[in-house]
Structure 1
Amino acid sequence: MSRPDADAGRFQMAGHWHAALHRLQEDAEPHVLATLVGAAGSTPREPGTKMVITPEESFDTLGGGTFEYQLIAAARQALARGDTAPSLEAFPLGGRSGQCCGGYVHVLIEPFAGAERRITLFGAGHVGQALAGLIAPLPWRLDWFDSRADAFPAWASAEPGPARLRLHASGAEPAAISTAVQSLPPGSDALVMTHDHGQDLALIDALLERHDLTSIGLIGSASKWASFKRRLTEAGHDADAIARVRCPIGIAGADGKRPYEIALAVVAELMTLAPARPDAPDKRGITPETLRQAFGPDR
């Protein structure tokens, strides 16, 4: 029997699944936890055996062979689809997988899509630092920019820093601002609160050229925003584009002026901006019928 295509991925046999799982969870990187939950007949591993699969790597093993390559392919398809619910895969080793041991296994595939949100923060002043501190424990990825190399607090720049935080020292000139904005991942929530109003305006101007961002927020007063709207209009942005910017930022009714109070209001507002989800169905994940068929007395 020929070995399946190498696209199935390279194995990291020395990496234990639990160490990989901890690192990937901390980094909010997409991965699948695969657990052998049922076995009948001759099988290479016993129930409870686990492995971790990412788009590029796999850690530990459920027994190798064609079965494992098929499992890896199924896990990566779940990641590519953005699945969040677990699924149960059946592998008749003599039929579907063509292995001579001839047993039968069920594998629980639990996909983790990675960071729930991508936040981009421009500015490491008092509010920016308070905001980054609030975001750090959340399952969000934070890209933090400032044009001042020494602006980031020690807790953020220490090695190793928070797992889901990426610091970027970017210039204040137009070319550097454009490069920084173009580097943002699609779907990011962008927040602008630098130490300089000129930088703020240049960043908003560049961000409005991106049509794939989830949201754009600007710290400031109503008078600051009125001035910015006039200048953005003069720069050629129409009313619909300018309306994409939230200013002032923060959940309605939160009027505190302390940096931490403002940061709390901004995080609360971001949570209200999460994409709308349809009402959850009564039955979620693996259906009871599937479970009964998999683990009923006839198995």
Structure 2
Amino acid sequence: MQHLQWWRDFVSWQQQGSTVVLVTVVRADGSTPREVGATMLLRLDAQQQFQQSDTIGGGHLEFQAIDLAKNMLLDSDQRQQFVERFNLSARLGQCCGGVMGLLFEKIIATDNDHNFITCQKAWQNGQGIVRQISSQELPHKSLSTWSIAEDLSQSLNCDFQQTDTAWQWKQTIQPYAMKVMIFGAGHVGESIVRCLLPIGVQITWVDNRDDIFPRDLIDQVNCISTDVPEAEIAHFDRSGAVLILTHDHQLDLQLCFEALKPSNQPFAYVGMIGSKSKRAIFEKRMQARGYSQIELQRLICPIGIEGIGSKQPAIIAVSVVAQLLQLFNIKR
């Protein structure tokens, strides 16, 4: 599973005009704290304080990598990009004892961030993003190029090639397998969205109220304002999860009718916020409409993992996201 906070922050920080250093694991031999492709991002913020996004595993390895990245940001290290080898046992004294190769790349912000914005929007819509860099390129072309993957099914996640004199790296930033359609932009809906975003989940967020979506989330999530929310279900990927969290019980019922309709491919998950008594009432009304017991059993209500009874939105969100992660990890 990819954790992609660095990718979101990378695009955001580029838009803010920040110079950044990307630190990427390009080799991982033996026992290592992170896998090939794991990436960490660093910058100096407006107060000239170092800011980090994501991790390559922590410990002495990360401390040394951060020091190298800081030197690049402060221009005490003039290199734009290089690959450094770390022996975790001999050099760093870490018990895992493997060998890792880290790619360091300094990316100076420019006024032209359109390509990064285009790539992020494509990624949010389920497309892969390809990053390529080679030490053999001319100096002014030695930084990464970023493009939208033409055929994601044929894309390798990561590929590092190295000889005695040169190296090249190709990385595909895959969209996360989990897709979630959330109905309801209230406190619980917002908390779940904020919990899902760092993981890289593809989120569609639907509400029938205007100007309900938080402004800071509009560019990160596919937000839909519509008078007929239930109509959106027909357009959603059947391998995804549907979460019903609206402020209107009648709308919740209508959404259940649509999400649980008999189908050759039912949704991977249909969950509705509510109590056991709410579920019982809904089941009676759905049985009256001809829904079978098999179809009704697919409705998860109450939502979230067992043993967590809090009604605080943030805690509900953690419980629900944990339930979704369990489901999609099994499906992988």
Name the amino acid aligned to 2:257.
Answer: D
Question: Of residues 224, 239, 253 in structure 2, which corresponds to 1:201?
Answer: 253
Structure 1 residue runs without a partner (length 5+)? 1-14, 56-75, 91-104, 279-299
When residues 202 and 23 of structure 1 are mapped into structure 2, their CA distance, relative to the original with a 3 A threshold, is: same
Percent identity over the alignment is 23
Q: Is the 2:206–2:229 contact (alpha carbons within 8 Å) kept by the matching residues of 1?
A: no
- SS of the residue aligned with 1:253? coil
Alignment of 1:21-40 (within 5 A): 21=116, 24-25=119-120, 28=124, 29-36=127-134
- SS of the residue aligned with 2:199? coil
Question: Of residues 311, 318, 329 in structure 2, which corresponds to 1:264?
Answer: 318
Higher relative contact order structure (alpha carbons within 8 Å, sequence separation ≥ 6): 1
How far apart, CA to CA, are the structure 2 residues paired with 1:168 and 1:49? 37
Match of 1:166 in 2: 222
How far apart, CA to CA, are the structure 2 residues paired with 1:18 and 1:110? 20
Q: Is the 1:177–1:206 contact (alpha carbons within 8 Å) kept by the matching residues of 2?
A: no
Deviates more, 1:229-238 or 1:218-227: 229-238
Question: Of residues 230, 233, 237 in structure 2, which corresponds to 1:185?
Answer: 237
Alignment of 1:248-263 (within 5 A): 248-263=302-317
Are positions 1:85 and 2:85 aligned together? no
Q: Is the 2:183–2:229 contact (alpha carbons within 8 Å) kept by the matching residues of 1?
A: no
How far apart, CA to CA, are the structure 1 residues paired with 2:167 and 2:230? 50
Name the amino acid aligned to 2:153.
Answer: A
Alignment of 1:1-299 (within 5 A): 20-21=115-116, 24-25=119-120, 28=124, 29-36=127-134, 45=138, 48-55=142-149, 76-77=150-151, 79-81=152-154, 83=155, 85-87=157-159, 107-150=168-211, 152-153=212-213, 156=214, 158=215, 161-171=217-227, 176-209=228-261, 211-276=265-330
Q: Deviations over 1:83-139 (max 9, x none)?
A: 45323689xxxxxxxxxxxxxx97533112224422111112232232223233331
Match of 1:71 in 2: none
When residues 260 and 106 of structure 1 are mapped into structure 2, their CA distance, relative to the original with a 3 A threshold, is: closer
Q: Is the 1:192–1:203 contact (alpha carbons within 8 Å) kept by the matching residues of 2?
A: yes
Q: Deviations over 1:178-227 (max 9, x none)?
A: 42111223422110011111111110110113635321111111111112
How far apart, CA to CA, are the structure 1 residues paired with 2:311 and 2:180? 22
When residues 274 and 84 of structure 1 are mapped into structure 2, their CA distance, relative to the original with a 3 A threshold, is: farther
- SS of the residue aligned with 2:291? coil
Pair member with larger Rg:
1
Name the amino acid aligned to 1:223.
Answer: S
When residues 247 and 52 of structure 1 are mapped into structure 2, their CA distance, relative to the original with a 3 A threshold, is: same
How far apart, CA to CA, are the structure 2 residues paired with 1:271 and 1:200? 23
How far apart, CA to CA, are the structure 1 residues paired with 2:148 and 2:112? 11
How far apart, CA to CA, are the structure 2 residues paired with 1:54 and 1:16? 20
TM-score by length of 1: 0.61
How far apart, CA to CA, are the structure 1 residues paired with 2:323 and 2:248? 24
TM-superposed CA distance for 1:23, in Å, is 5.9
Q: Deviations over 1:54-78 (max 9, x none)?
A: 14xxxxxxxxxxxxxxxxxxxx34x
Structure 2 residue runs without a partner (length 5+)? 1-109
Q: Is the 2:272–2:300 contact (alpha carbons within 8 Å) kept by the matching residues of 1?
A: yes
How far apart, CA to CA, are the structure 2 residues paired with 1:21 and 1:241? 43
- SS of the residue aligned with 2:198? coil
TM-superposed CA distance for 1:146, in Å, is 1.3
Q: Is the 1:177–1:202 contact (alpha carbons within 8 Å) kept by the matching residues of 2?
A: no
